[in-house]
Chains A and B, each alone.
Chain A
């Protein structure tokens, strides 16, 4: 009978744990740290807590990494996540003046202005960013760099994340291939000089305390994150394939298919005509490898005057308005959280709904920004540790406080604000701009995606319904009277005998007609004045000439108005005799 395997005693198990904590145990690579192949691609719950990244996901990451630089939709998503998240770039400040010089030296020498964008792209494409801050040698000679280096390691090169039995990460196994070109000889050489690089596979176990790792879309216990492009990749490919197919078909139709009409032709003459065409075609191959027959460029075919040849019109386009293609775009947009308007020509969007859709997307982008800031904070902590090790940060913060917080905590790393265009804020801004006459009302309406003609009609309707009751002439419109001359009209009508005219006409009817005519003349002069002002442009002399003409014309109307109303008043005074 085989001897049963002895179960380790409790003490031995506890010792093993303590040994691991002390680092006594050599890190082992367990099976679960490999890129495992699962038939179904579904993770086993029990393997969580270690680097479990199945080969399906690794190959997906490789596909995305290859596609985003060729696929316009994938590129747009990656670019939006990067540019919108970082915009003008992260900013580093500190209230501790002594911390800024070494921090800025780290920033400058490691080109963190560019590195942050590379990190955002990496995070979007792979769901992970690995930054390495290696240990540095003590600078001994003058001129040696005292600044630690910060480098990004491509996520796909991190082949394994090594954990110990407790799940603590101990090392990152990096695998990559370098192209070795051998020695470089300067000067002009004879011969073809083809240099064939020799690929060399390399690997390195990087200690965990040199790596800063941030990730997104990682569930509890997941060691690696997942790219937001992973679920959308196939829909993007499908969309592009559909687009390409539509384009090819349209192109082929326009090139190949023609309509030939033979006036009065019979079957024999038509057959002869077709034979003429076929004998004059050439075979071409399209980029996808399909053969098709077409008339060669510049080819002349002789028929007769009864034959009319018309190419079949075909629209060569890939319209996003096709419902199937739009649904494909929507699938991509849903996966990455980008509003449809950013992935299409905006046919289906208006400003208000697009603005509403952008709000959750901007929050998503803000979270990406926070991840990059988190990466930078981790890198600066390690970098300051390296420098502090050799006393290069003396005096940055008081040493007696070092147990309370890390020296890098004095740095404040922030990202640019990410805000959506709030419709109400935009509207208020546009009102201010139009009041200040910086932009026209029409331009403001276009910003708000309003129809200018409708707005003009609305303004006109509101004015005719009644404008301001007061203006700076101090004349208040008397409520209850029609305008103008309403009060005057009322006064006449209220007289004891409103119809003293022998013919029974309302009194002073002609006078009111005259008044309205005179007022109409003034309106005409205003229009003339207006036209002249626009034509004058910035010419002040022309403006003055327009002013003189206007005032001269209108003053005479005023004088006439005075005469008729004064006469009306005199008549009224004598009317009650």
Chain B
């Protein structure tokens, strides 16, 4: 895993790209009816598209908040460990209330992991659940 700051920049870039794509999708939907002068149809399409955009933004914000929360925890743990002259280690903890993908099950069974060994942070790791991952990184042996 790259340094915390580099990782944070990467997270932000991905979120920005996703948001830009969502906005462009809405514009694309309106372009399909730009050949008509039917304002009612355009209004309806924009209303529907905006409602969908709102839902997608909510989902994205939820994912983004979790990712940065996990990143912040790792950052805090690394700072603390560095000040204590040790290396922090993290367990990949499954969310008790969620369904788990097979990748997360494998990650949870392995570990604990140092920062270098972590494949990523929950929500931005190469797991089958992608951005929906709500697993937790918990420092162990602190």
Q: What residue of chain B has the Cβ atom nearest to residue A530's Cβ?
A: B50
Distance A537 CA – B38 CA, assembled complex (angstroms) = 10
Distance A506 CA – B47 CA, assembled complex (angstroms) = 37
In this assembly, does A304 line the interface, its C-beta being within 8 Å of a C-beta of chain B? no
Partner of A479, one of B80, B99, B142: B99
* Given contact pairs A463-B51, A478-B98, A555-B16, A537 touches B42 in the complex (Cβ within 8 A): yes
Q: Enumerate B23-73 residues with CB–CB distance to A below 8 Å.
A: 23-24, 26-27, 29-35, 38-47, 49-66, 68-73
B95 and A478: CB pair below 8 A?
yes
Partner of B139, one of A440, A550, A573: A573
In this assembly, does A570 line the interface, its C-beta being within 8 Å of a C-beta of chain B? yes
What 1/0 mask marks residues of chain A from 221 to 263 whose CB sits below 8 Å from any chain B CB? Answer: 0000000000000000000000000000000000000000000
In this assembly, does B11 line the interface, its C-beta being within 8 Å of a C-beta of chain A? yes
* Given contact pairs A491-B136, A530-B50, A558-B15, A570 touches B73 in the complex (Cβ within 8 A): yes
Within the complex, the shortest CB–CB distance from B10 to chain A, in Å, comes to 11
In this assembly, does B6 line the interface, its C-beta being within 8 Å of a C-beta of chain A? no
Complex interface: stretch among A122-130, A161-169, A369-377, A519-527: A519-527
Distance A347 CA – B131 CA, assembled complex (angstroms) = 55
Q: What residue of chain A has the Cβ atom nearest to residue B49's Cβ?
A: A530
Within the complex, the shortest CB–CB distance from B9 to chain A, in Å, comes to 10
Q: Enumerate A476-493 residues with CB–CB distance to B below 8 Å.
A: 476-481, 483-488, 490-491
* Given contact pairs A477-B59, A484-B65, A519-B61, A565 touches B98 in the complex (Cβ within 8 A): no
In this assembly, does A23 line the interface, its C-beta being within 8 Å of a C-beta of chain B? no
B73 and A573: CB pair below 8 A?
yes
A562 and B12: CB pair below 8 A?
yes
In this assembly, does B108 line the interface, its C-beta being within 8 Å of a C-beta of chain A? no
Distance A235 CA – B32 CA, assembled complex (angstroms) = 55
* Given contact pairs A440-B38, A526-B50, A474 touches B132 in the complex (Cβ within 8 A): yes
* Given contact pairs A440-B44, A478-B95, A573 touches B75 in the complex (Cβ within 8 A): yes
A561 and B99: CB pair below 8 A?
no
What 1/0 mask marks residues of chain A from 554 to 577 whose CB sits below 8 Å from any chain B CB? Answer: 110011011001111111111011
A561 and B64: CB pair below 8 A?
yes
B62 and A562: CB pair below 8 A?
no
* Given contact pairs A534-B43, A551-B23, A574 touches B65 in the complex (Cβ within 8 A): no
Distance A561 CA – B61 CA, assembled complex (angstroms) = 8
Partner of B80, one of A475, A483, A522, A577: A577
A442 and B44: CB pair below 8 A?
yes
Q: What residue of chain A has the Cβ atom nearest to residue B67's Cβ?
A: A565
In this assembly, does A437 line the interface, its C-beta being within 8 Å of a C-beta of chain B? yes
Partner of A476, one of B32, B55, B76, B132: B132
Main secondary structure of the interface of B (DSSP, over half): helix
Within the complex, the shortest CB–CB distance from B53 to chain A, in Å, comes to 6
Our count of residue pairs bridging A and B at CB distance below 8 angstroms stands at: 195
Distance A249 CA – B47 CA, assembled complex (angstroms) = 53
In this assembly, does B134 line the interface, its C-beta being within 8 Å of a C-beta of chain A? yes
B65 and A551: CB pair below 8 A?
no
In this assembly, does A103 line the interface, its C-beta being within 8 Å of a C-beta of chain B? no
Chain A residues, CB < 8 A from B57: 519, 522-523, 526, 554
Chain A residues, CB < 8 A from B51: 463
Partner of A480, one of B42, B75, B97: B97
Within the complex, the shortest CB–CB distance from B142 to chain A, in Å, comes to 7
Partner of A537, one of B34, B71, B76, B134: B34
* Given contact pairs A543-B30, A572-B72, A562 touches B61 in the complex (Cβ within 8 A): no
Distance A529 CA – B30 CA, assembled complex (angstroms) = 12
B46 and A530: CB pair below 8 A?
yes
* Given contact pairs A442-B40, A491-B136, A538-B34, A475 touches B130 in the complex (Cβ within 8 A): yes
Distance A463 CA – B58 CA, assembled complex (angstroms) = 14
Within the complex, the shortest CB–CB distance from A371 to chain B, in Å, comes to 45
Within the complex, the shortest CB–CB distance from A576 to chain B, in Å, comes to 7
Q: Enumerate B64-102 residues with CB–CB distance to A below 8 Å.
A: 64-66, 68-77, 79-80, 95, 97-99
Distance A486 CA – B139 CA, assembled complex (angstroms) = 22
Q: Enumerate A105-163 residues with CB–CB distance to B below 8 Å.
A: none
A571 and B59: CB pair below 8 A?
no
Partner of B54, one of A526, A551, A555, A570: A526
Interface residue total, chain B, C-beta cutoff 8 A: 72
In this assembly, does A83 line the interface, its C-beta being within 8 Å of a C-beta of chain B? no
A526 and B72: CB pair below 8 A?
no
In this assembly, does A515 line the interface, its C-beta being within 8 Å of a C-beta of chain B? yes
* Given contact pairs A487-B134, A573-B73, A437 touches B61 in the complex (Cβ within 8 A): no
In this assembly, does B129 line the interface, its C-beta being within 8 Å of a C-beta of chain A? yes
Chain B residues, CB < 8 A from A540: 31
Complex interface: stretch among A401-409, A412-420, A465-473: A465-473
Partner of A561, one of B27, B68, B73: B68
Partner of B8, one of A529, A566, A576: A566
A534 and B42: CB pair below 8 A?
yes
Q: What residue of chain A has the Cβ atom nearest to residue B34's Cβ?
A: A538
In this assembly, does B18 line the interface, its C-beta being within 8 Å of a C-beta of chain A? yes
Chain A residues, CB < 8 A from B44: 440-442
Partner of A473, one of B23, B27, B60, B73: B60
B8 and A562: CB pair below 8 A?
yes
Q: What residue of chain B has the Cβ atom nearest to residue A463's Cβ?
A: B51
* Given contact pairs A463-B51, A485-B65, A437 touches B97 in the complex (Cβ within 8 A): no
In this assembly, does B19 line the interface, its C-beta being within 8 Å of a C-beta of chain A? yes
* Given contact pairs A442-B40, A473-B131, A562-B64, A543 touches B95 in the complex (Cβ within 8 A): no
Chain A residues, CB < 8 A from B131: 473-475
In this assembly, does A509 line the interface, its C-beta being within 8 Å of a C-beta of chain B? no
Distance A543 CA – B66 CA, assembled complex (angstroms) = 32
Interface centre among A478, A533, A534, A569 (most CB of B within 10 A): A569
Distance A452 CA – B10 CA, assembled complex (angstroms) = 46
In this assembly, does A362 line the interface, its C-beta being within 8 Å of a C-beta of chain B? no
Chain A residues, CB < 8 A from B26: 529-530, 533
Distance A526 CA – B79 CA, assembled complex (angstroms) = 38
Within the complex, the shortest CB–CB distance from B108 to chain A, in Å, comes to 16
* 5 additional contacts (CB under 8 A) given A471-B52, A488-B69, A562-B68: A440-B45, A488-B65, A527-B50, A561-B65, A565-B66
A-B contact pairs, 21 of them (CB 8 A): A440-B45, A443-B41, A471-B56, A474-B132, A479-B98, A480-B98, A483-B58, A522-B61, A523-B54, A530-B46, A534-B42, A537-B34, A543-B27, A547-B23, A550-B23, A551-B23, A554-B19, A566-B68, A569-B68, A571-B76, A572-B69
Question: Which A-B residue pairs are the 3 nearest by beta carbons?
Answer: A569-B72, A573-B76, A476-B132
